[in-house]
């Protein structure tokens, strides 16, 4: 079964062609980083306009690279949320048009399910059940994944997502956007133990996250650092980046490993833009090895937003006969425990 997946949930216009939910035939992503860079974050209206300009060329390129036509497709999967409403509408209505004109079944996909199932685009995959960490600019959540379509929420961010914290700290430091890659690169030259930024572990048994306090602590420290206060003597900007990154990584690793232990699974995985972070991956491998838990992470191209992961999620839903009506609409948010786009 050959599925076209379309994702326009935020600032990347993406389309992927996937065979049988596992083999990526093509995956095309048009990034808007340069467009939003001057603003230090995504401007929703600009993102929507860029999607309108690029959705047709991106889908056409995905088909061209796969060396197939619309007649060769067995279905279309499209992200309907969560995300920016204007951006989501572009992808959904284009998918609706394709489905109607070419008489193809269409399925509506929750973006987070795409991230969870992105690991199945790799050769080595975890066996069910496993625990999944979805960590990006908009989401930081833990799910117990018992099978395709079977997801139980174990923990979630109560305020800022991890990726959002990276972006905000980078903005305060004035080092660019998106914050994740620039802080990671800067941290390579810094000392992660130089500044003891807070770790919000919450209560003893909690698997929830909170990064707003850390963001505030970093902002206050940067104010002192720029003011030349004595306690910041000898501290470099790279030390601030490394210490901040270490604080985020500590919490993400601890919560994911704790979730793995609580459920008794043999495997955990991390996906989403922040899961590209090499320090996070290294620390996860180190922590999991001591617990006899195996760690899986998709390659960076499948961690960031992409159409291939949406196609993979769509395959499993289409396989069970699920089909979205052409009246389906987008949703900017879902109840965090709900991964199905269908009420």
Query: What is the distance between the alpha carbons of residues 119 and 271, in angstroms, rounded to a whole number?
Result: 8
Residue with tokens 């109607």: 100
Q: What pLDDT does 342 receive?
A: 41
**Shared-domain flag, residues 265 and 310:** no
Full-model pTM: 0.94
**Shared-domain flag, residues 148 and 95:** no
pLDDT (tens, 9 = 90+) of the chain, 343 residues, equals 999 999 999 999 999 999 999 999 999 999 999 999 898 889 999 999 999 999 999 999 999 999 999 999 999 999 999 999 999 999 999 999 999 999 999 999 999 999 999 999 999 999 999 999 999 988 999 999 999 999 999 999 999 999 999 999 999 999 999 999 999 999 999 999 999 999 998 887 899 999 999 999 999 999 999 998 988 899 999 999 999 999 999 999 999 999 999 999 999 999 999 999 999 999 999 999 888 999 999 999 999 999 999 999 999 999 999 999 999 999 988 765 567 664 3
Q: What pLDDT does 159 receive?
A: 94
Q: Is residue 177 part of a domain?
A: yes
User: Treating both helix axes as pointing N-terminal to C-terminal, what angle do 179-187 and 162-173 enclose, rounded to 10 degrees?
Assistant: 70
Q: In sequence order, which ranges of 71-191 are alpha helices (DSSP H)?
A: 85-102, 111-117, 162-173, 179-187
Q: What pLDDT does 335 receive?
A: 67
**Shared-domain flag, residues 141 and 284:** yes
**Shared-domain flag, residues 280 and 218:** yes
Q: What pLDDT does 338 receive?
A: 62
DSSP state of 321: T
Q: Is residue 343 part of a domain?
A: no
**Shared-domain flag, residues 112 and 139:** no
Query: What is the distance between the alpha carbons of residues 174 and 197, in angstroms, rounded to a whole number?
Result: 19
**Shared-domain flag, residues 9 and 58:** yes
Q: How many domains does the chain have?
A: 2
Q: Is residue 8 part of a domain?
A: yes
**Shared-domain flag, residues 204 and 55:** no
**Shared-domain flag, residues 291 and 147:** yes
Q: Is residue 336 part of a domain?
A: no
CATH of the domain at 155: 3.30.420.40
Q: What pLDDT does 204 receive?
A: 79
- CB-based burial label for 121 (10 Å; 0-12, 13-18, 19+): buried
Q: Is residue 216 part of a domain?
A: yes
**Shared-domain flag, residues 312 and 286:** no
Please measure the distance between the N-terminal and C-terminal CA atoms of the chain and give it in whole angstroms.
26
Domain that holds residue 222: 126-297
**Shared-domain flag, residues 102 and 151:** no
DSSP state of 273: G
Q: Is residue 50 part of a domain?
A: yes
Record the tokens describing residue 271, joined without a space. Answer: 């996906």
Q: Is residue 149 part of a domain?
A: yes
Q: What pLDDT does 341 receive?
A: 63
Q: What pLDDT does 40 receive?
A: 86
Beta-carbon count within 10 A of 325 CB: 9
């Amino acid at each position: 079964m050959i599925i076209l997946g379309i994702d326009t949930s935020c600032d990347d216009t993406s389309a992927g062609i996937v065979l049988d939910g596992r083999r990526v035939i093509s995956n095309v992503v048009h990034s808007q980083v340069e467009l939003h860079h001057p603003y230090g974050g995504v401007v929703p209206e600009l993102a929507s306009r860029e999607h309108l300009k690029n959705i047709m060329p991106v889908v056409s390129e995905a088909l061209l690279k796969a060396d197939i036509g619309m007649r060769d497709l067995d279905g279309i999967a499209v992200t309907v949320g969560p995300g920016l409403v204007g951006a989501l509408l572009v992808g959904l209505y284009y998918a609706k048009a394709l489905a109607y004109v070419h008489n193809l079944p269409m399925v509506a996909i929750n973006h987070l399910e795409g991230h969870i199932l992105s690991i199945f685009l790799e050769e080595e995959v975890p066996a069910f059940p496993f625990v999944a960490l979805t960590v990006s600019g908009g989401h930081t959540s833990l799910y117990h994944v018992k099978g395709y379509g079977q997801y139980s929420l174990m923990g979630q961010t109560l305020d800022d997502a991890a990726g959002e914290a990276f972006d905000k700290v980078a903005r305060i430091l004035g080092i660019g956007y998106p914050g994740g890659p620039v802080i990671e690169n800067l941290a390579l030259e810094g000392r992660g133990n130089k500044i003891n930024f807070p770790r919000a572990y919450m209560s003893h048994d909690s698997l929830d996250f909170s990064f707003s306090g850390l963001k505030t602590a970093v902002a206050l420290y940067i104010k002192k650092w720029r003011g030349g206060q004595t306690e910041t003597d000898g501290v470099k900007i790279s030390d601030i980046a490394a210490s901040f990154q270490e604080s985020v990584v500590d919490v993400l690793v601890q919560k994911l490993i704790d979730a793995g232990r609580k459920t008794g699974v043999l495997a955990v995985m991390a996906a989403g833009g922040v899961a590209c972070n090499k320090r996070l991956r290294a620390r996860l491998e180190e922590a999991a090895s001591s617990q006899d838990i195996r760690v899986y992470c998709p390659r960076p191209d499948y961690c960031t937003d992409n159409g291939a992961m949406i196609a993979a999620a769509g395959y499993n839903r289409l396989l069970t006969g699920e089909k979205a009506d052409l009246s389906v609409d987008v949703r900017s948010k879902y109840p965090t425990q709900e991964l199905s786009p269908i009420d």
